[in-house]
Chain A
Amino acid sequence: MAEKGVKVFGMWASPMVVRVEWALRLKGVEYEYVDEDLANKSADLLRYNPVTKKVPVLVHDGKPIAESTIIVEYIDEAWKGEYPIMPADPYDRAQARFWARYADEKCNPALFPIFTATGEAQRKVVHEAQQCLKTLETALEGKKFFGGDDVGYLDIVLGWYAHWLPVIEEVTGASVVTDEALPLMKAWFDRFLAVDVVKAALPDKDKLLAANKARREQLLSA
Chain B
Amino acid sequence: MAAEKKGLQLLDFWVSPFGQRCRIALDEKGLPYEYLEQDLDNKSELLLRSNPVHKKIPVLLHDGRPVCESLIIVQYIDEAFAGKSPALLPADPYARAQARFWADYVDKKVYDCGTRLWKLKGDAQQQACKEMLEILKTLDSALGDGKFFGGEQFGFVDVAFVPFTAWFLSYERYGKFSVEKECPRLAAWAKRCGERDSVAKNLYPPEKVYEFIGVLKKKFGIE
Whole-angstrom distance between the Cβ of B82 and the nearest chain A Cβ? 8
CB-CB < 8 A to B67: which residues of A? 91, 94, 98
Within 8 A of B (CB), among A57-85: 60, 63, 65-67, 70-71, 73-74, 77-78
> Interface digits, B98-113 against A, CB 8 Å rule (1 contact, 0 not)?
1011001100000000
> Interface digits, B73-99 against A, CB 8 Å rule (1 contact, 0 not)?
101100110000000000001101110
Does B3 make an interface contact (CB < 8 A)?
A: no
**Contact: B53 with A135, CB < 8 Å?**
yes
Does B44 make an interface contact (CB < 8 A)?
A: no
**Contact: B97 with A101, CB < 8 Å?**
no
**Contact: B93 with A98, CB < 8 Å?**
no
Compute how far the CA of A73 lies from the CA of B79 in the bound complex, rounded to whole angstroms.
14
Within 8 A of A (CB), among B49-72: 53, 62, 65, 67-69, 72
Compute how far the CA of A11 lies from the CA of B81 in the bound complex, rounded to whole angstroms.
39
Contact residue among B65, B69, B93, B105 (Cβ-Cβ distance under 8 Å from A78): B93
Does A143 make an interface contact (CB < 8 A)?
A: no
How many A residues are at the interface, by size bracket?
A: 20 to 34
CB-CB < 8 A to B115: which residues of A? none
**Contact: A94 with B76, CB < 8 Å?**
yes
Q: How many A-B residue pairs have CB under 8 A?
A: 56
Whole-angstrom distance between the Cβ of B58 and the nearest chain A Cβ? 13
CB-CB < 8 A to B65: which residues of A? 91
Known A66-B101, A97-B72, A135-B53; contact A90-B79, beta-carbon cutoff 8 A: yes
Whole-angstrom distance between the Cβ of B131 and the nearest chain A Cβ? 14
Known A70-B100, A74-B94; contact A102-B53, beta-carbon cutoff 8 A: yes
CB-CB < 8 A to A199: which residues of B? none
CB-CB < 8 A to A93: which residues of B? 75-76, 79
Within 8 A of A (CB), among B179-196: none
How many B residues are at the interface, by size bracket?
A: 20 to 34
Compute how far the CA of A164 lies from the CA of B147 in the bound complex, rounded to whole angstroms.
45
CB-CB < 8 A to B105: which residues of A? 51
Whole-angstrom distance between the Cβ of B141 and the nearest chain A Cβ? 9
**Contact: B96 with A94, CB < 8 Å?**
no
**Contact: A94 with B72, CB < 8 Å?**
yes
Report 8 cross-chain contacts, Cβ distance below 8 Å, ordered by A residue: A51-B138, A65-B98, A67-B104, A70-B101, A71-B97, A91-B67, A101-B69, A102-B53
Interface, chain A (partner B; CB < 8 A): 51, 60, 63, 65-67, 70-71, 73-74, 77-78, 90-91, 93-94, 97-98, 101-102, 135
The 8 A-B pairs with the shortest beta carbon distances in the complex, nearest first, are A77-B93, A90-B79, A74-B97, A90-B80, A94-B76, A78-B93, A65-B97, A70-B100
